[in-house]
A and B are shown apart, each in its own frame.
Chain A
């Protein structure tokens, strides 16, 4: 049984019910109270996202300032339930235009009930694709004064057909004057470095995001410089691949539009894209990651009331590139009184609310280095015995046109029967995921 949710609730942080949808009778109506009493009002909130109370299991997720709670009475599929919530939130976001929070829910509760009706029936997930749902559940429809007079005409039968159709993610008959495809490769690089400077853990999770404004039913083919794909290609064409770096992807997942059979046999990514924005694929790499930054911290505790913090940051990507929005957070003890800084670039200050020295550099060119040295004064406390355990230094950044994995798009071909020309745009960006350096 995939989910068979008995009820779905949306609550705000105080525990007020925002949305309350019961699908099945096998749970009582006072499940919200049970959740409030046994989870929200106890210390257990946030200790575990799956809890059993009485005969029922509660799955809950916090999304901005809202809790979404699913109640089941059977041995349900947890992964499926969480995935459903995530997808549903994505759907609501696409309806509300980006934000999903208490206000958005209060302003759109009728719409949410409508959607909840469509995306889940008797606890079983149905169609969650925004593309199709938007055909027959429209926010504008609520506003239009004439909609009540006209029984919904042509699009609807079409929509209802598509609800159940095979190419569920794209409708027919789209026309664009200018056919464009935007392709973004977004990587987030995760690093955990020991205080001795050795890399404990390092990996990259990447996404290929697409924005398609294409007419008709186009067939797209994407080529990347990944090892398996290139090898396969060279086999097929029986000539050696051009020299160049090849990337070994640990694992890849694709949007449902990608023809997986073809990927497995020919190792090419071919698909009929949904209209507008979507995530084409995700991948993960652990070998051969190019770290964009090296961080070399030295922290000295001088007596009980003073500390000296020196942080040197080196950028190790191409000299022509630059990083944006670089932030380095160096944790300091709670009893920090003040700190004085010397920086070679950017600005640094002490932020007491997060107990950290925050050093910000707006633009950081490649192949350069920058240092911050700070003197930290501490308030002397009686509890001297408890030595301070240092949390790791955290770093944020974005490096456009750089991929930590080295992944590159080799080609993106668009084929449509009308044979129009398309403009393709490709961008790369690498962001910091959890970039932690112990000190």
Chain B
């Protein structure tokens, strides 16, 4: 292992530090090396301890390697162990010196004490030096045949270690066959278990390479072997039992008698004190009975009590792991725990991660008979001081309501939440009420009466605001002051906007991005309101359309224009487009496909269940190498000279913010730059607002022939007249990028600050790409192949952020890209800035086509 460099934290006083100490140690060790005086071992022991403690905290003590080896000639077993530990840690990076240790390790492998033989063999196999593998084969072979079972257990694992160092040496020595023989014949259960683990791993990895290996892997699941293991099952330690159960769960029994025999044999494992054994047994039972529906149900009944015990025994971490599994089961069979819902009531002092899963459980088990109790309990949590908990509880209530049980009572509860007058409660509840109304329009009367009383000033969260605005538009006829509330919201349009830009932290930026849905909703709501109550809304409509058209966000701008044109063309058609009669939503879309759910179920009792995604999404066989964090950090620190391998997290954040800050700085000056961009017409600011407003005031409920000059004026002003739209823009010349583009980090930062965003859009990345993207590096290499270079990257799964740059082949024109990848949703946010604005669209296409190939190459 690479000893991590000393960090710049001050080491604690009890721990040694610094170079001086290491050379002191070296001196002292050298003195002791040859000494045979009594008491030497005690002195050595103290020194060894110091060396090990230095090694632990990350001081590089590899320089004392030769001295350590010299001192290792001892019969003291503790000294030996410390020495082995040291050697194991540093041998990989000092292969030449490691050779020195081979001699004494080999000698120890022949010691008469089995303990020492075992230890030496384990250390020998842990050296992890490729060119020393030849020395391993002999001792390993002897170890596997050792008369002592301890040595054999070590040797079995040793074979696996050898395989990981050098596959060919391991296969050439025919060790797997020896292991197999040992597995079938050894009288010691732990030897058998270690052989099994080693073989599973070796054949599993070999299977992709050779036919033979994959048949060998099949034989691990053959009937005789499975029966052999099951017959000896009780001999195994609890951990080995887990391994065997896992293997057996992959076995396909030939008939139902076999299944019953196995279940009868193993049923008592559900009573085992070790939760891991219980879970492994549960997995086996579920897998065995998949094809027998009625037995499968009985299994659910049988495993209920043990699972509930596991939830309540053990620490919160263990509960968390078990609750994740319960959640998976309850999604498949909601009824199993519906009578035991009280087990999922939250205790006041439990950590949030446990509470959250319990809430999900409560939501999932709710049915006709228990909904009232569950919702009552959830309402208790909603009043909780802990805000995240309160939010989650309200969401849970909403989810239950959407499941259609006892909606009546729940709507009452939700409306009570609104009366609690806590901002976070109100916000969450509004979102839910909106969803409820989409599903149960019949409740609108009760809901709207309460929602109408909420002051829009108390609603700040974008999601909640959007929900409130949607309801204002949708139920304008039932809310007396809807037009006026909307009007006041529109008045704040600009104010909100400028307020956001003033605060230029990363947070504000992300909030800003979320504001767009609010504006879109506002536009739609005003238009809907206008259809119902034209005279009262006219003024608001005019203001909204004017503000929308002036908005620099593309979607908002486009939607405002669309509405404007629609209204201008024909109001009744506009109504049919904007506000058609709605059908109640019957089922909200499920986010996970059944196929994925089944795959997670197949991987029961593993991380997949906790992450709620199948393993291929988070483990990546091809790129299993060490994940270099320091490299990532080095990249993101943008050429700043890093003093050590470790950069404190704050610095990254600071850098990240710096970059972000520059974008929001940019936004402030947007207005002026916008004027010159292709999309906007000159001088639209004040002049547009006035005519369009007066124009719209004259709109009425009949298709009015508008004053043509005004329309023309607007069209002209907007610079998007029909002629322009009719002739498609000439195809842009093919963009060629410089393959060897170079840009200094500082220059990048400067440019990023100066240039306006020319394109900002969202695109998607294909899932295969995401699957192999365990680190930012994979994407960076890919993009490099398309002459797009990365200057900084960061983040962690599922969110990665990159800054790319590229240059034109012929001229020094640069493109800068900020690319935010969300691996879980496969979405990519792009912000492109360019020296030459006119080619940025072409570059964007190029970039996206490169991105879309990611994962296929």
Interface residues of A (CB under 8 A from B): 1-4, 14-20, 22, 24-30, 32-34, 37-38, 41-42, 46-50, 52-57, 59-61, 72-80, 82-84, 86, 106, 109-110, 113-114, 117, 121-122, 124-128, 136, 141-142, 145, 147-149, 151-152, 156-157, 160-161, 163-166, 168, 190, 192, 200-201, 203, 205, 250-256, 260-261, 263-264, 279, 281-282, 284, 286, 385-386, 389, 391-392, 394, 434, 436, 438
Interchain CB contact under 8 A, B157 and A124: yes
B645 at the interface (CB under 8 A from A): yes
Q: A141-B78, A392-B348 are contacts. A55–B627 as well, Cβ < 8 Å?
A: yes
Chosen A-B contacts, 12 in total, with CB atoms closer than 8 Å, are A17-B57, A33-B7, A38-B649, A48-B320, A49-B316, A49-B317, A52-B611, A55-B774, A152-B113, A157-B114, A205-B313, A251-B306
**How many whole Å from A381's CB to the nearest CB in chain B?**
15
Per DSSP, are chain B's interface residues mostly helix, strand or loop, or mixed?
helix
Interchain CB contact under 8 A, A438 and B627: no
**How many whole Å from A261's CB to the nearest CB in chain B?**
6
From A28, A37, A52, A72, give the contact of B2 (CB < 8 A). Answer: A28
Interchain CB contact under 8 A, A160 and B377: no
B191 at the interface (CB under 8 A from A): yes
Interchain CB contact under 8 A, B377 and A200: yes
Interchain CB contact under 8 A, B3 and A29: yes
B693 at the interface (CB under 8 A from A): no
Contacts of B342 in A (CB 8 A): 200-201, 286
Output the residue of B45, B273, B308, B605 with the most chain A CB within 10 A: B273
B384 at the interface (CB under 8 A from A): yes
* 12 further contact pairs, Cβ within 8 A, besides A20-B56, A127-B237, A286-B342: A28-B627, A28-B628, A29-B626, A30-B4, A50-B607, A52-B611, A79-B325, A152-B115, A163-B149, A163-B150, A253-B306, A386-B422
B278 at the interface (CB under 8 A from A): yes
**How many whole Å from B287's CB to the nearest CB in chain A?**
15
Contacts of B271 in A (CB 8 A): 252-254, 260, 263
From B234, B309, B320, give the contact of A50 (CB < 8 A). Answer: B320
From A50, A250, A256, give the contact of B308 (CB < 8 A). Answer: A250
Interchain CB contact under 8 A, B649 and A78: no
Cα distance, A14 to B57, chains bound together (Å): 13
Interchain CB contact under 8 A, A121 and B194: yes
From B55, B56, B201, B321, give the contact of A1 (CB < 8 A). Answer: B201
Interchain CB contact under 8 A, B320 and A16: no
B82 at the interface (CB under 8 A from A): yes
Interchain CB contact under 8 A, A148 and B82: no
Among the listed stretches B69-77, B506-514, B535-543, B846-854, which one makes contact with chain A, having 4 or more residues with CB under 8 Å of it? B69-77
Contacts of A141 in B (CB 8 A): 77-78
B813 at the interface (CB under 8 A from A): no
Among the listed stretches B20-28, B137-145, B349-357, B704-712, which one makes contact with chain A, having 4 or more residues with CB under 8 Å of it? B349-357
Residue ID in chain B nearest A7 by CB atoms: B1
Interchain CB contact under 8 A, B239 and A80: yes
Per DSSP, are chain A's interface residues mostly helix, strand or loop, or mixed?
mixed
Contacts of B310 in A (CB 8 A): 79
From B53, B315, B383, give the contact of A86 (CB < 8 A). Answer: B315
Contacts of A82 in B (CB 8 A): 314-315, 317-318, 321
Interchain CB contact under 8 A, B14 and A106: yes
Contacts of A160 in B (CB 8 A): 114-115, 118, 148-151
From A16, A286, A391, give the contact of B11 (CB < 8 A). Answer: A16
Task: Digitize B246-271: 1 where CB-to-A-CB distance is under 8 Å, 0 elsewhere.
Answer: 10000000000000000000011101
From A165, A252, A436, give the contact of B188 (CB < 8 A). Answer: A165
Residue ID in chain A nearest B796 by CB atoms: A53
Interchain CB contact under 8 A, B321 and A282: no
Contacts of B347 in A (CB 8 A): 190, 192, 434, 436
Interface residues of B in 584-634 (CB under 8 A from A): 603, 605-611, 615, 618-620, 623-630
Residue ID in chain B nearest A253 by CB atoms: B273
Interchain CB contact under 8 A, A117 and B796: no
Q: A78-B321, A79-B275 are contacts. A434–B606 as well, Cβ < 8 Å?
A: no
Residue ID in chain B nearest A255 by CB atoms: B273
Residue ID in chain A nearest B114 by CB atoms: A160
Cα distance, A149 to B649, chains bound together (Å): 51
Task: Digitize B316-331: 1 where CB-to-A-CB distance is under 8 Å, 0 elsewhere.
Answer: 1110111011000000
Interchain CB contact under 8 A, A50 and B610: yes
Cα distance, A110 to B55, chains bound together (Å): 12
Output the residue of B12, B114, B629 with the most chain A CB within 10 A: B629
Task: Digitize B72-116: 1 where CB-to-A-CB distance is under 8 Å, 0 elsewhere.
Answer: 001111110110010001001000000000000000000011111
**How many whole Å from A277's CB to the nearest CB in chain B?**
15
From B7, B56, B160, B272, give the contact of A18 (CB < 8 A). Answer: B56
Interface residues of B in 109-155 (CB under 8 A from A): 112-116, 118-119, 122, 128, 148-151, 153-154
Interchain CB contact under 8 A, A163 and B645: no
Cα distance, A254 to B275, chains bound together (Å): 11
B189 at the interface (CB under 8 A from A): yes
From A49, A166, A394, give the contact of B320 (CB < 8 A). Answer: A49
B238 at the interface (CB under 8 A from A): yes
Contacts of B41 in A (CB 8 A): 148
From A79, A121, A124, give the contact of B605 (CB < 8 A). Answer: A79
From B74, B153, B274, B313, give the contact of A164 (CB < 8 A). Answer: B153
Cα distance, A256 to B271, chains bound together (Å): 10
B781 at the interface (CB under 8 A from A): no
From B58, B115, B318, B645, give the contact of A17 (CB < 8 A). Answer: B58
Q: A2-B276, A110-B82, A255-B273 are contacts. A52–B797 as well, Cβ < 8 Å?
A: yes
Interchain CB contact under 8 A, A77 and B153: no
Residue ID in chain A nearest B187 by CB atoms: A164
Contacts of A261 in B (CB 8 A): 268
Contacts of A392 in B (CB 8 A): 348
Interchain CB contact under 8 A, A77 and B605: yes
Interchain CB contact under 8 A, B237 and A284: no
Contacts of A109 in B (CB 8 A): 49, 52-53, 56
Contacts of B615 in A (CB 8 A): 75
**How many whole Å from B822's CB to the nearest CB in chain A?**
14
Cα distance, A66 to B512, chains bound together (Å): 41
Q: Which 10 A-B pairs have the closest CB atoms?
A: A260-B268, A28-B626, A160-B150, A148-B76, A164-B188, A75-B615, A251-B305, A55-B774, A125-B239, A80-B276
Cα distance, A282 to B320, chains bound together (Å): 20
Cα distance, A34 to B279, chains bound together (Å): 30
Contacts of B238 in A (CB 8 A): 256
B692 at the interface (CB under 8 A from A): no
Q: A32-B4, A122-B161, A124-B239 are contacts. A192–B345 as well, Cβ < 8 Å?
A: yes
Residue ID in chain B nearest A55 by CB atoms: B774
Cα distance, A106 to B309, chains bound together (Å): 35
B235 at the interface (CB under 8 A from A): yes
Cα distance, A75 to B624, chains bound together (Å): 12
Cα distance, A160 to B353, chains bound together (Å): 42
Contacts of A386 in B (CB 8 A): 422
Contacts of B153 in A (CB 8 A): 121, 126, 163-164
B385 at the interface (CB under 8 A from A): yes
Contacts of A57 in B (CB 8 A): 607, 618
Cα distance, A168 to B188, chains bound together (Å): 11
B242 at the interface (CB under 8 A from A): yes
Output the residue of A147, A149, A284 with the most chain B CB within 10 A: A284
Cα distance, A292 to B421, chains bound together (Å): 39
Contacts of A200 in B (CB 8 A): 342, 345, 377
Interchain CB contact under 8 A, B56 and A148: no
Contacts of B611 in A (CB 8 A): 50, 52
Contacts of A61 in B (CB 8 A): 315, 317
Interchain CB contact under 8 A, A163 and B190: yes
Interchain CB contact under 8 A, A164 and B190: yes
Cα distance, A151 to B77, chains bound together (Å): 8
Residue ID in chain A nearest B57 by CB atoms: A17
From A46, A78, A121, give the contact of B607 (CB < 8 A). Answer: A78
Interchain CB contact under 8 A, A25 and B164: yes
B635 at the interface (CB under 8 A from A): no
Contacts of B4 in A (CB 8 A): 29-30, 32-33
